[in-house]
Amino acid sequence: MNKRFGISLALAVLAMPATSQAQTSAKFSLDWTVIGTHAPFSVALDQKLFEKEGLKVTIDRGYGSVDTITKVANGVYDFGFADPNLLLKYNYENPDSKVTMVLLVYDGGQSAIVGRKSSGIASPKGLEGKKIGAPPGDNSRQMFPVYAKAAGIDASKVEWVSANPALKETLLSKGDVDAVATLEPTTLLSLKKLGANTDDYISLRYSVFLPELLGTGIIVSQKTLKEKPDMVRAFVKAVVAGEKIALADPATAIKSLTLIDPMADVANELTRFKLGVDMSMGAANLKAQGIGSVSPERLSKALGYLAETFGVPLPADLSTIYDQSFLPPVENRTF
């Protein structure tokens, strides 16, 4: 081969956009069925942000944060979207397959207990002696012991009813359960669809007593972190870019959900997205600090709640729970 031609060809290849080069395949599991919360990911697909970073990403629905964490830990998926507050206990119980969050997508949580006022629920203490419905693997149910401890609830006096996720609001509206453990926007929208008056219900947000708790984020196995750090960094960069677009133009972003689920109810999911953003992205300094930023003090306090409630020791290195070294520069995360 002519030397000059070889050099020119190499330079041409380097100059080619990432989308025209070989893509690294990555499997990504959501936490549940496709909803408005997942708009940053569908935007990243729609606007080829993953491809720009050299990734070919497939996105599947999930079956609860616990299930997603397990599948990521076992290598079934490269990435997952889940509740990072469950990682401390999981990693302690599974020391050979630990999982770490690399991007906090939604800063604050949306978890709450939504109860019927007619059941006599006017405060957290009013949950004692009541039936609460939720799927066993639901992250709000899994985190209830932490909330109960902080809110002064005797958790032993609560009766849990395992409920199909598609039916729990029906059980609530009919009075078969007194309350549900849930993501607040999801249940309020479902109650409206059922024709219920949401003024007849009270929402007891976990964030009132646990403001430091983290929202939901991108998780990976520690094995993947060590073996494929460039892939992790590229994935995080694409999701941050997608989230910034979704926050700036929710209406357009939500339409892209149909790429993952053609049956997505765009109007309903737009409302859900906006409600969720209002709950989870309203911290005073978040816009200046950028998506994903968590101070060491906040992370330590949040993990302290979990350690005390679950009887699990804190790791010596808190970055094994949330590693922020894979985040893009702050100027690329502000919104």
What the block records as the tokens of 262 is: 């053609």
Confidence of residue 23 (pLDDT cuts 50, 70, 90): very high
Please report the beta strands in 171-266, taking only residues with DSSP state E, as ranges in sequence order: 179-183, 201-205, 216-221
Q: What is the pLDDT of residues 234-259, one digit of tens each?
A: 999 999 999 999 999 999 999 999 99
For residue 6, tell me if it sits in a domain.
no
For residue 170, tell me if it sits in a domain.
yes
The answer on 295 and 224 residing in a single domain is yes
pTM comes to: 0.89
The answer on 253 and 129 residing in a single domain is no
Q: What is the pLDDT of residues 290-320, one digit of tens each?
A: 999 999 999 999 999 999 999 999 999 999 9
Average pLDDT over residues 320-328: 98
The answer on 307 and 218 residing in a single domain is yes
**Bridging pattern class, strands 111-116 and 201-205:** antiparallel
Average pLDDT over residues 197-225: 97
CATH number where 61 lies: 3.40.190.10
Q: What is the pLDDT of residues 176-193, one digit of tens each?
A: 999 999 999 999 999 999
Last residue of a domain, one of 176, 209, 242: 209
For the chain, what is the domain count? 2
The answer on 202 and 115 residing in a single domain is yes
Reduced to 3 states (helix: H, G, I; strand: E, B; else coil), residue 146 is helix
Q: What is the pLDDT of residues 27-48, one digit of tens each?
A: 999 999 999 999 999 999 999 9
pLDDT tops 50 at residue 14: no
CA dist 152 and 148 (Å) reads 6
The answer on 292 and 160 residing in a single domain is no
Average pLDDT over residues 65-85: 97
Per the rule left: phi > 0, alpha: psi between -120 and 50, beta: everything else, 82 is: beta
What is the distance of C-alpha 230 from the center of its chain?
22
CA dist 237 and 326 (Å) reads 8
Q: What is the pLDDT of residues 129-188, one digit of tens each?
A: 999 999 998 889 999 999 999 999 999 999 999 999 889 999 999 999 999 999 999 999
For residue 43, tell me if it sits in a domain.
yes
For residue 7, tell me if it sits in a domain.
no
Last residue of a domain, one of 154, 188, 209: 209
Q: For residue 255, what pLDDT is reported? A: 98
Please report the beta strands in the chain, taking only residues with DSSP state E, as ranges in sequence order: 24-29, 55-60, 79-82, 99-106, 111-116, 131-134, 159-162, 179-183, 201-205, 216-221
Range(s) of the domain holding residue 321: 22-108+214-332
The answer on 74 and 120 residing in a single domain is no
For residue 10, tell me if it sits in a domain.
no
The answer on 197 and 225 residing in a single domain is no
For residue 3, tell me if it sits in a domain.
no
Last residue of a domain, one of 189, 209, 229: 209
CA dist 50 and 131 (Å) reads 44
Four-CA torsion 202, 266, 77, 221, nearest 10 degrees: -50
For residue 11, tell me if it sits in a domain.
no
The answer on 222 and 104 residing in a single domain is yes
Average pLDDT over residues 91-105: 98
**Residues of the chain above pLDDT 90, percent:** 90
Segment holding 67, helix H or strand E: helix 65-73
pLDDT tops 50 at residue 323: yes
For residue 13, tell me if it sits in a domain.
no
CB 297 within 8 A of CB 60: no
The answer on 204 and 225 residing in a single domain is no
